[in-house]
Amino acid sequence: MAACALAVLAAVLACVCIQQSRFDPAVMVAAAASPAAPSPAGLLERWPEGVSPMSGAEAFTQGTLSDKIDGKAELYLSAGFVSLKSQRVSLAGAQGTWMEILVYDMGLPSNAYSVFSSQRRPNAADAGMGDYSYEADNELCLVHGSYYVEVVCSGSSDPARRAAEALARAFIGSTAVAEHANVGAEQALFPTEGLIAGSIALVPSDVFGLDQLRNVFVARYRDGAGELTLFAARRDAPGAAAREAAELRGFFVADCGGKEAPPPPSPPGASIIEMDGAFEAVFSSGPYVAGVHQAPDRASAQRWLGVISRRIAGERP
C-alpha cells in the first residue's frame, strides 16, 4: 500500500514538472506586447549641438535631497527648496568629458538668489546670463526666476566651458518664469568703497547664530588689515524691525556674553556690543534692521554704523 502511494506521488510530481517546463504561448504574446517602462523625461527637449544625454533625468524632493547633496541639503531646505532635477550629459569630440546640470526649484526668485549668493566662490567671474550668474573653475551657476542652476563639468577646458554656457542658455531659453530675481535695491544699501567683490549675499536663516533672524543681506568689507560685515534686512513694518533689533541685541548680550558699550551718538537707539575682542552694532531705522558684525574695534564699529545708517536713510521711501 505504501509503495502504491509513493508511485502516485511520483507520477503527480512528474506531471507538475512537465507542465512547468512548457510555456504558454498566450503568456509569451502578452509579455511581448507589454511596453517597456518609459525612461525619465529629459531636462531639455532639445539639447545644444554637441551635447547629448548620458542617462535620464533624476528628481529629488525635500525628503530625498540629502541623497544627492549630502552635507549641503540644509542650506537649500532653509531657503525654501521645492525640488531638484539633474541630468548628466556628454560632450561630443571630447572623450571622457561630461557635465551635470542641476536645476533647483526654490519657489521664489529671492530664495534662488539666496542659495546662489551663499554658494558663490571667491574667484567667481560674471557669466553674463540669467538674472545673476558666475563662472568659477569647472562650474557655471545662475539664477533664472525661481530656479537656481548649476552646470558642473568634469574639467575646466575651453570646450567644456563653452558647452556649459550653451547648456545654460538652452535652459534659460526653454524655461519661462513668471518673475525674475532683482535685488538691486538691497545691493544699493551697501557702499562700493572697501567692499570685497562678490561678497553681497542673502543669508536665509540662523543669521549670526540667532534662529529667529532670517533673510538678511550681508556684505564683507576690508577695514585696515582686517575685515568686517555690514548687514541689513527690510521687514514688513517698523515695529517688526525694532523687535528684531532688540532680539539680536539681547542675543549678543544675554546668550553670547557680550558687554554693551555706551550708546553711540547716532543713529538713535543703536547699540554697540563688545564680544570676544570684536564689536557688534545693531539698530533699526523705519522698516530696516541693520548693523555691523565683527568690527575690529569700537571706533570702526561706530564709523561703519554711520555708513550703513546713512545708506538706509537714503533708500527709505
pLDDT tens across the length of the chain (317 residues): 333 333 333 333 333 333 333 333 333 333 333 333 333 458 998 999 999 999 899 999 999 999 999 889 999 999 999 999 999 999 887 777 899 999 999 999 999 999 999 999 888 999 999 999 999 999 999 999 999 999 999 988 898 999 999 999 999 999 999 999 999 999 999 999 999 999 999 999 999 999 999 999 999 999 998 999 999 999 999 999 999 999 999 999 999 999 998 888 889 899 999 999 999 999 999 999 999 999 999 999 999 999 999 999 985 44
Query: Does residue 264 lie in a domain region?
Result: yes
Query: Does residue 261 lie in a domain region?
Result: yes
pLDDT at residue number 263: 82
Cross-strand partners of 125: 135
Q: 60 with 148, same domain?
A: yes
Residues 6+ apart with CB under 8 A from 79: 106, 111, 114, 115, 118, 204, 205
Q: 220 with 311, same domain?
A: yes
Residues 6+ apart with CB under 8 A from 213: 206, 207, 244, 247, 248
- Residue 196 sits in a domain whose CATH number is 3.40.1000.20
Query: Does residue 45 lie in a domain region?
Result: no
pLDDT at residue number 123: 87
Query: Does residue 304 lie in a domain region?
Result: yes
Sign, CA dihedral 295-296-299-303, equals negative
pLDDT at residue number 314: 87
pLDDT at residue number 315: 55
Whole-angstrom Cα distance, residue 50 to residue 92?
Answer: 5
Q: 218 with 114, same domain?
A: no
The answer to whether residues 212 and 249 touch, using CB atoms and an 8 Å cutoff, is no
190: containing domain: 184-315
The answer to whether residues 138 and 182 touch, using CB atoms and an 8 Å cutoff, is no
Q: 203 with 166, same domain?
A: no
Query: Does residue 26 lie in a domain region?
Result: no
Query: Does residue 141 lie in a domain region?
Result: yes
Query: Does residue 23 lie in a domain region?
Result: no
Q: 302 with 191, same domain?
A: yes
Number of domains the chain contains = 2
Which of 147, 174, 201 marks a domain boundary?
174
pTM above threshold 0.95: no
Query: Does residue 9 lie in a domain region?
Result: no
